Amino acid sequence: MCGIVAYIGHQKASDVIIKGLKRLEYRGYDSAGIALMDGGLNVYKKKGKVSELEDFIKGEDLKSTVGMGHTRWATHGEPNDVNAHPHFSQSGNLAIIHNGIIENYAALKKDLEGKGYTFKSETDSEVFINFIEDIYNNNDGTLEEAVRLALTKVVGAYAIVILSKEKPNQLIAARKGSPMVIGVGRNEFFIASDATPIVEYTNEVVYVNDYEIAVIKDSELTIRDTKDVKMTPYIQKVDMELEAIEKGGFEHFMLKEIFEQPKSIKDCFRGRLIANNGQLVLGGIREYANALTNAERIVIVACGTSWHAGLVAEYIFEEFCRIPVEVEYASEFRYRNPIIREGDIVIAISQSGETADTLAAMELAKSKGAIVLGVCNVVGSSISRVSHEGVYTHAGPEIGVASTKAFTAQLTVLTMIALRVAHRKGTMAEQRYRSFLAELESIPAKVEKALKTDDQVKKIAALFKDSRNCLYLGRGYNFPVALEGALKLKEISYIHAEGYPAAEMKHGPIALIDEEMPVVVIATRDSSYDKIVSNIQEVKARKGKVIAIVSEGDSLIPGMVDHTIEVPGTHDALMPMVATIPLQLLSYHIAVMRNCNVDQPRNLAKSVTVE
């Protein structure tokens, strides 16, 4: 979850690191700190956001060209100055920044306390650096060797960077289960959790793999694994523009990303879909296309918004491909001894490609002989490397913690995979297949039109911004949209909201409805339309306030409800990509009106790299 940045070169390290931490703040913003080799090993850290750290070091004469920084999402120990990173070893000779979680830290801490070590913080990270120092002090080897030995003993996930007072022109970094990328410049190197702090300086990067240790000194990068085998760094080009990680005139990243969706959806199928020719090419799953087509079962694993995308995909795959689909929370999947058979297809969905629970589910599935396909946004991410094959969404960087364009991008890719399988399998007639391709190609324009409801949605938001609870209802393909709408409201406005299948309302939630309860109903014209109309009448009979998302030209529902928001019509299976737009806007405007931090909601972080 946390964000790490380190630099060694010829520039002023503190400037590079602070700017990088701001770009990574979506990964955690409980506290922040930097360590600099500046006539010694000096640490500056502060509870709160990076801007508070920046204010804290104003006036300091920071000239160092070597340093590291960290922005925290708390796991062990509450957010405060002491628990903030970096952490010193007891002697003060070593300092560490750490993204991840050390599961056996308590046992290590007890052992170190028995040797006379004392600890200032409540963190597992301080235990980690003292464990490394203890090995270093009691062996004749180098610090790199001590790090390597320590990594064979710790259990958990980590991306770490270490500075040593004895080696002022050296950085040591390592990873397992938490992301790390090294930017390669001219006689300078950058280390970060992802490429966003790096693209301003270089587009050449090395993605560090699990169990690898990188040492940068004397303008050289060497990488070895924990068995001391030297690895050859593979330098890749990063395809990311600096403006993609700027707000571009929008007040918040979330709003920018909502309005980017016509482009991000189009980018998903650019070069893959040409409806006029009936062409749909997905090179990322070419090798396993037959296995996917002939699969007896598909299991989708994901978390949060990606899980909602998986629920929509379940409906799509079963309707189009006639393949049974199960959608699992990745966080629960491996703890219930799931039945996975050789030849099962497991599709893992993640925006970041680093979600720890999803990665663990993938590893379990692979160990049981399943074919694992990844759907993710970040090139070079862990999920893309663990998968047998997969498809990138190409949605561009998503900085807002509440996922928006990732959801519609995932739906686009999952729909294309299902269409490709259905066509190969013969479960979708040629004419219907071509019609669907054409309709999918039209979705960006329909999303563009749905975005024009923004002013109307803003007025509705003003009426309900002080609500304490909200219910979201949908049927069929729109049931997962209701779940996603409720999640968005919860995440950024802190209003309690629940999504339900509309028909299930009378099995419990209807007891909550009164004149104070806003009920958002996704009521577009589809095969369940008559049923959803009945559900709306049930809500109105209990004096609920109904906000209905309806298809353009609907003449029935507007006369029954309090507020309607019209969106362009499309096929049932594609409606989630359109119907979700006003729900994203509603949650955004309510959060803004409640003075909530839209891009950095409390207690949340973008990339969940710990279980």
Q: How confident is the model over 150-167, as pLDDT tens digits? A: 999 999 889 999 999 999
User: d(Cα 467, Cα 493) in Å, to the nearest integer?
Assistant: 10
Q: What token pair was written down for 369? A: 């002989």
Q: What is the mean pLDDT of residues 580-589?
A: 98
Q: Does residue 98 surpass a pLDDT of 90?
A: yes
Q: Confirm if 488 and 400 have CB atoms less than 8 A apart.
A: no
Catalytic residues: 2, 606
The pTM for the full model equals 0.84
Per-state percent for the chain, helix, strand, coil, to nearest 5: 40, 25, 35
How buried is residue 388: exposed, middle or buried, by Cβ count under 10 Å (0-12/13-18/19+)? Answer: middle
- Residue 410: per-residue pLDDT: 97
User: d(Cα 164, Cα 162) in Å, to the nearest integer?
Assistant: 7
- Topology (CATH) of 3-243: Glutamine Phosphoribosylpyrophosphate, subunit 1, domain 1 (3.60.20)
Q: What is the mean pLDDT of residues 506-523?
A: 88
Q: Tell me which of 443 and 75 has the higher pLDDT.
A: 443
- Residue 396: per-residue pLDDT: 87
CATH superfamily, with its number, for domain 249-441: Glucose-6-phosphate isomerase like protein; domain 1 (3.40.50.10490)
State yes or no: cis peptide before 509, omega within 30 of 0. no
Q: Confirm if 547 and 563 have CB atoms less than 8 A apart.
A: yes
Task: Note whether 3-243 and 451-603 share their fold.
Answer: no
What pLDDT digit, counting tens, does each position of 179-230 carry?
Answer: 899 999 999 999 999 888 898 899 899 999 889 999 999 889 999 998 889 9
* CA-wise closest residue to 594 among 454, 456, 491, 473: 491
Domain boundaries, the chain: 3-243, 249-441, 451-603
User: d(Cα 307, Cα 316) in Å, to the nearest integer?
Assistant: 14
Q: What is the mean pLDDT of residues 427-442?
A: 95
On the CB side of 495, how many CA atoms lie within 13 Å of its CA?
A: 31
Per-residue burial over 372-381, b if 16 or more Cβ lie within 10 Å, else e, is bbbbbbbbbb
Domain 451-603 classified CATH 3.20.20.100? no
Q: Does residue 390 surpass a pLDDT of 90?
A: yes
User: d(Cα 406, Cα 389) in Å, to the nearest integer?
Assistant: 19
* CA-wise closest residue to 363 among 212, 210, 148, 194: 210
| Farthest-apart Cα atoms in the chain, separation | 82
Helix (H, G, I), strand (E, B) or coil at 197: coil
